[in-house]
Amino acid sequence: MRRRVATAIIALALFLPIIFFDFGGIAVQLLGALLAVVGVYELFRMKGLALLSFEGILSTIGAIVLVLPNNPWFSYLPDTADKLILFYFVVMLLLGVSVISKNMYTIDEAGFPVLVSLYVGVGFQNFVEARATGLLVLLLGIFIVWATDIGAYMIGKKYGQRQLWPEISPNKTVEGALGGIVSAVFVAIVFLILYPGSLYFEYGSFIMIFWTIILSIVGQFGDLVESAIKRHYQVKDAGNILPGHGGILDRFDSMLFVFPIMHLIGLF
């Protein structure tokens, strides 16, 4: 427990100044790209593949391309092109290996690095775009995820009886999931009292509470998706970069789902 707390304090001491001050407007972009690289590494590690392989390098490049915004990182592209074309070029290279290798490397194998790039890249892309829209948008998403995690853990530990999805994550309970939603709503209400939805977001406060419930559910589903991946590869944690907490994907799995949905519903 001490190691877990110490890791959390150190991580927050590094993480919070970056998202609050976003030094020069690119600090969060670089942070998102770094987290994406680590996320790609963790997924390749789970599958037993090396990051420093042709597919690992291309998957990493693809994720970075998705995370970083067009301006300033891809301003050299013609006005008629954007970074999605660059990402598709990475996909073309991966598929082209099937020809060069005479189908020793197949489309099925190419699908893994492409999906990894999309999962990690689009998730952290929206994390970066949320901060570019405004600090409050980013904080709202983070607070919803953190409140859901803490509420689900505390309520589930004390009152949990019915398993939520035993085949995927045996320790999660229905009571914990509901507790996570209630906790997220409570935090959102406090947040919206300070920063009313009608003034700071696209929706009024009552609609924002509704979206909070949806986002809390989405975040928990993102957590279950990561659990399913780890169970498939028979690993306990995605990585060990955060002692006592696991890997980057163990900490950001919910956010990789929440921020894209926040973007989809027009919160940024």
Place of tokens 């009571």: 175
Q: Which of 133, 158, 186 is the last residue of a domain?
A: 133
Residue 99 has pLDDT above 80, yes or no: yes
* Single-letter code of the amino acid located at 157: K
End-to-end CA distance of the chain: 37
Mean pLDDT is lowest, of 5-9, 116-120, 129-133, 139-143, for 5-9
Residue 1 confidence (pLDDT): 60
Number of domains observed in the structure of the chain: 2
User: Mean pLDDT of all residues in the chain?
Assistant: 94
Residue 34 confidence (pLDDT): 97
Query: pLDDT (tens digit, 9 = 90+) per residue, 101-132?
Result: 998 999 999 999 999 999 999 999 999 999 99
Rounded Cα distance, 218 and 90, in Å: 29
Query: pLDDT (tens digit, 9 = 90+) per residue, 159-199?
Result: 999 999 999 999 999 999 999 999 999 999 999 999 999 99
Place of tokens 């890997």: 247
Query: pLDDT (tens digit, 9 = 90+) per residue, 202-238?
Result: 899 999 999 999 999 999 999 999 999 999 999 998 9
Regarding whether 142 and 117 lie in a shared domain, the answer is: no
Which structural domain, as residue segments, surrounds residue 243? 135-268
pLDDT greater at residue 30 or residue 240: 30
Residue 77 confidence (pLDDT): 87
Regarding whether 18 and 104 lie in a shared domain, the answer is: yes
Regarding whether 145 and 91 lie in a shared domain, the answer is: no
Rounded Cα distance, 233 and 227, in Å: 10
Regarding whether 122 and 14 lie in a shared domain, the answer is: yes
Among 206, 217, 210, CA closest to 178: 217
pTM exceeds 0.85:
yes
Regarding whether 145 and 125 lie in a shared domain, the answer is: no
Q: Which of 111, 133, 155 is the last residue of a domain?
A: 133
Regarding whether 90 and 40 lie in a shared domain, the answer is: yes
197 close to 205: Cβ distance less than 8 angstroms: yes
Q: Which of 70, 105, 133 is the last residue of a domain?
A: 133
